[in-house]
Structure 1
Amino acid sequence: MKKPATDVLFQEESTYKDMLLRKSVKMRVMETVAFVLGMLILAQILPSNNTAFKVLAFAIAIAVVGLAPFLYRSMLRPVYKLTKTHLIITMSGKETSYPLSEVEQIYEGRHLYRVGGKRESLMVSREFLKHLNERLFYYNKANKRR
């Protein structure tokens, strides 16, 4: 269900910093697997007590952690939109709309939310999270009056 562009209160594309700091557990696991594979390949080439091994291991760690957000951003192209009644998440061109009644903050002050019954890491800035929390507060307050 697409919302008209005029209905969007706040919209944000994920930045490198957001992707680096607020990635999901799945993304962190993929980075760990990539690092382990890199280390296994490096261990086959160089002995582990070699200085070059240690320097290259450090370089692999920096490359995996530092370059992964660029890869995620180019593949996923995450865009988050907030309307009066919905949170709209676009990943890889697929847009999904969640009513605010299905959005709930899991941890206070964090980027983890229960969205549509699933635990979701929102890769957005603090400003967007602030707007989302305000909308959730107003939405829940209005629903309690009814």
Structure 2
Amino acid sequence: MKKPSTDVLYQEESTYVDMLLRKSWSMRIAETVAFVLGMMILAQFFPSNDTTFKVLAFAIAIAVVGLAPFLYKATMRPVYKLTKTHLIVSISGKETSYPLSEVEQVYEGRHFYRLGGKKESLMVSRQFLSHLNERLFYYHKGNKRR
């Protein structure tokens, strides 16, 4: 197997907005579980028809959705690198390299890609996605772009 090229064309750390808008499935599930647990705890202290319950339920929803990207970024530290031949994804210090031959866009214009046969959500900016799509285009066409 070919060794990945060390010439990084583009590198990006996930920002709060990218993580808020382009969440992975695991992040969505964790948010849902946290919200349900918060609601179960809240239901123990207030009746469901009480105004305080409704306000606190709304506050829990905002807190879970708003704080999840901060927590994920602090713990996982996702970094994406694009080289001429590979997409390198680093999460929690664990770096995984995908040859561009194993990377394909699942939905046109979206952040879902098939990486090594598995559907993944890339939590990166549109600029990074456009660089990746351009690189995939040239890679699959066999053109050399410098």
TM-score normalised by L of structure 2: 0.94
1:26 Cα deviation from its structure 2 partner: 1.5
Residue in 2 that maps onto 1:97: 97
Taking only the aligned residue pairs, the percentage that are identical comes to 79
Residue 131 of structure 1 is matched in structure 2 by 131
Measured in 1, the distance between the counterparts of 2:34 and 2:67 equals: 12
What letter corresponds to residue 85 of structure 1 in structure 2?
A: T
Take 2:59 and 2:18, find their aligned partners in 1: how far apart are those partners?
22
Q: Which amino acid aligns with 1:68?
A: A
Deviation at residue 85 of structure 1 after TM alignment = 0.3
Aligned length, in residue pairs: 141
CA distance in 1, matches of 2:81, 2:33: 32
RMSD over aligned CA atoms reads: 1.2
Q: CA deviation at 1:2?
A: 6.4
8 Å CA contact 2:20, 2:69 repeated in 1: yes
Q: Which runs of 5+ in 2 are unaligned?
A: none
Using structure 1 for the length normalisation, give the TM-score.
Answer: 0.94
Q: 1:46 corresponds to which residue?
A: 46
**Alignment partner, residue 115 of structure 1:** 115
Equivalents in 1 of 2:26, 2:106: separation in Å? 18
Q: Does 1:11 align with 2:11?
A: yes
